[in-house]
Structure 1
Amino acid sequence: MYKPLSIFIGLRYLRAKRRNRFASFIAIASTTGIALGVAVLIIVMSVMNGFEREVAAHVAGMTAHATSFELGVPMSRWQEIATDIRKLPHVEGVEPFIRGSGMLNRRGAARGIVLYGVDPETESHVTKLADYLGSTPLSALKSDGPIPNIMIGSTLAETLRLTTGDVVSLIVPRWAPNQGMGSPLFQQLRIAGIFQVGMHEFDSTFAIIDIHAAAEIFQFRDAVSGLRIRFDDLGRATEYALAIREHLGDKYLVLDWTEFHRNFFQALKSQKRILFVILSLIIAVAAFNIIASMIMVVKEKLTDIAILRTLGYAPMQILAMFIVQGTMISLVGIALGIGIGTTAAGYASDLMRWLEKMFDIQLIKPEVYYISYLPTQIQLADLVLVSLTAFGVCLLATFYPAWRASNIVPVDALRYD
């Protein structure tokens, strides 16, 4: 029976008016601090989740879920290998590509690019490139004249002041057998479309061309650089890529999309953990306020505690009574924090745009953060982790004052009352 009674008295103490108004202020400050800490943690972790999700979607959408290469040489038997891979489970598409580097030159302005040769008719089987082209179809890469067509990113087009229909020069280094670098190739290309992925890496250096034109420019003849593969589940791309690698043998290398940006995603996860630890200090500060508030309550209720002990109330019952009080403060703070945090996370992008417009600043630079907006994604696991962390810290903070109260000697407490 003592547990319900301890809860009842603990809740009564929480609702009762206090003679010491400063103690009430500290209790309110504690609840506010917990709510603030929980809200900030939820907002930051939601932004990190959204950022990781958006970058992953853009990278996988432009580079396919996995890529297969033949070690050391161009892939000459690519038709046979592609047919073999298509028969494997979870594979939705396999298409060839040719990759090379060069420099685009326009009226004295030059920029280095990574040029991908793709098949316009089947590229949508492995990437989402068509989604970033607006109203321009991928079939626009096909050229009817002597000048091949090319599609470039929006940042690159802005830098070189190019628009659809313009002609630009491509400079590609050539290597002569046993002679090293030979005379570079100069190739005229016509801008057939401009895509905008929203990631600086692609919009500033990425360009695509018809695979047959790329084969002539980079002298690939009947070979290709490799195969791009799409699976039915992006989240299991690593597992499926490993299965294909084992199926093809040691002569071939199969990399899933995360391996091309492994360091970036590892750094992102490390940053998320570090931010969680640092921002948890806000909750720790609020926990010190709980200690101060509870100590004041214990001093204020010395007579009540002594009377309860005289009536036979056990020390553990006193301990439970004050733990209930501290627990309720922490639970209210956590609930408020979850409400504020989830609401604010939903409007984070709108708030960022308002701040940028109000102060005429750019908070997120695409050349640094890969995207130009603020994405958020609230995950249940993060809400549980934040809530349990906050509750654990607050429970530890509550224990000391409650333990002090349970060890009060009734005679000493009533001696001068």
Structure 2
Amino acid sequence: MNLPFFIAKRYLFSKKKQNIINIISWISMAGIVVGTMAIIIIVSVLNGFTDLIGVFYSDFDPDIKISSVEGKMFDPNTIDIEQIKALPDVVSYAEVVEEVALLRYGKRQFAATIKGVPDNYPDYTNIDKLLIEGEYYLKKDGIDYAVVGRGIANNLGVGVSFLDPLHVYVPKKGKQVSLNPSRAFNHGYLFPSAVFAVLEDVDAKYMLVSKAFATELFDSEDDISAIELAIADGADVDALQEKLEEIVGAGFHVKNKEQQHYLVFKTMKSEKWAVYFILVFILLLASGNMIGNLTMLYIDKKEDIAILGSMGLPTEQINRIFLYEGWLISLAGGVLGTILGVFVCWLQNTFGLIKLPGAGGSFVISAYPVHIIFTDIILAFAAVLIIGFIASWYPVKFISNKQLAPSNIA
């Protein structure tokens, strides 16, 4: 039998001579419970927002995007396109043309990225789900149309029911010498057919047009900006990326959905870990009650310690009694906090108890999103155990050096 552990367990549940010690013990445990809950709940909410942003981008972006390392455009004939199409996990192949242009509607002007997409663009994205006004089509009755981001539409004051066309200007390639500045620009016009909304950085940046319109506008001829691929459900994305990198060579980037918005997801992950460490630090401060709790427990059990010492129990074993006592408080608080944290997350996921302020039904979700990741629970619980060890070890060391000397025990 582990005698120090047995005694520590009895001390944890037994009534102390001074009721304040019981109160401090429960306060110490409550601080650990609340701190553990806070870590699990807040980190899970951040996971939920990261997943939500990923879903928005997934609806707009391809599964894999191939672009040139140098330059904005490249000739697709420089790579083995047929070998890419022949890969069993590739279900859609598309070539897009993408470039910045100046938009003008009435007296308003706005710089945006024109993305020329092929006819199968709706097949490998969920653009139809993103439309908030109008209907998706880029060519109808010989007239060119555009699907405009909400940010662009707001800046230009344009809508799908308006009769005036949207003008597009881009500089002509090469040196243009003319007394008339308008001859230095390629000009096209089209009508908005729909407005889409994804995220602010996408809505205020992109306008979708047909690939044919973009090719003529940008004088790109056979050059393209990127190759976009849709892959089969359940495909191994990492393995497919490696195959594609072998096919296209070192002169091209092959990016999955997350890598296409690397900075956004990196920022979200950095915020998550920053919040995690802040909460761990707060938990460390909350565990400071453990020092007072163990010190007062020693005072309450001083007669017991003297008896144990006179019976020959080594000082090291007496130290372990208080060390185990602190560990048990931390362990109990960590387990209870983890269970309650997971339960609260489940309630939020199931019933959406806490609503997003100002959502009002216009947003895609009305309640805070939550995603529980098992490794986050393990890290939170590990942090509690480590902090519990530190918070228990320090007062025990102090007691050992100052209070458990032979003269004091006697």
TM-score (norm 2): 0.83
What per-residue deviation string (whole Å, max 9, x for no partner) do you get for residues 167-226 of structure 1?
4422222325332784334433222112222x1011222111122222222233344323
Paired letter, 1:151: V
Q: Residues of 2 paired with 1:272 and 1:342: CA distance?
A: 17
Q: Residues of 2 paired with 1:76 and 1:33: CA distance?
A: 62
Match of 1:281 in 2: 281
- For residue 32 of structure 2, the aligned residue among 31, 34, 42 is 34
Q: Residues of 2 paired with 1:344 and 1:186: CA distance?
A: 57
Conserved? CA contact 1:154–1:204, under 8 Å: yes
Gaps of 5+ in 2: none
Once the 2 structures are TM-superposed, how far is the Cα of residue 16 of structure 1 from its aligned partner?
1.9
Change (3 A) 1:314 1:250: closer
Gaps of 5+ in 1: 361-365
Match of 1:161 in 2: 157
What per-residue deviation string (whole Å, max 9, x for no partner) do you get for residues 360-398 of structure 1?
9xxxxx9xxxx9984332111011001011111112221
Paired letter, 1:175: K
Match of 1:188 in 2: 189
Conserved? CA contact 1:318–1:402, under 8 Å: no
Paired letter, 1:66: I
Change (3 A) 1:261 1:234: farther
- Please give the residue correspondences for 1:316-395 in structure 2 after superposition, counting only pairs within 5 Å: 316-345=316-345, 347=348, 351=354, 353=356, 355-356=357-358, 374-395=368-389
- Please give the residue correspondences for 1:185-264 in structure 2 after superposition, counting only pairs within 5 Å: 185-197=186-198, 199-232=199-232, 237=237, 240-264=240-264
SS at match of 1:187: strand
As a proportion of its length, which structure holds more helix?
1
Q: Does 1:68 align with 2:62?
A: no
Match of 1:96 in 2: 95
Q: Residues of 1 paired with 2:366 and 2:213: CA distance?
A: 33
Change (3 A) 1:300 1:54: same
SS at match of 1:351: coil
Query: What's the C-alpha RMSD, in Å, of the aligned pairs?
Result: 3.3
Match of 2:23 in 1: 25
Identity %: 23
Change (3 A) 1:206 1:344: farther
Paired letter, 1:194: V
Paired letter, 1:302: K
Q: Residues of 1 paired with 2:60 and 2:43: CA distance?
A: 26
What per-residue deviation string (whole Å, max 9, x for no partner) do you get for residues 221-260 of structure 1?
3443231123347996465334312212345443444444
Match of 1:363 in 2: none
Change (3 A) 1:391 1:168: farther
Paired letter, 2:354: L
TM-score (norm 1): 0.82
Change (3 A) 1:69 1:284: closer
Q: Residues of 2 paired with 1:339 and 1:170: CA distance?
A: 59
Q: Residues of 1 paired with 2:23 and 2:175: CA distance?
A: 83
Query: Alignment length, in residue pairs?
Result: 396
Q: Residues of 2 paired with 1:98 and 1:234: CA distance?
A: 29
Conserved? CA contact 1:64–1:126, under 8 Å: yes
Paired letter, 1:128: N
SS at match of 2:370: coil
- For residue 396 of structure 1, the aligned residue among 374, 390, 393 is 390
Q: Residues of 1 paired with 2:138 and 2:39: CA distance?
A: 47
Q: Does 1:51 align with 2:54?
A: no
Q: Residues of 1 paired with 2:105 and 2:171: CA distance?
A: 20
SS at match of 1:208: strand
- For residue 174 of structure 2, the aligned residue among 173, 177, 194 is 177
Conserved? CA contact 1:148–1:190, under 8 Å: yes
Match of 1:133 in 2: 131
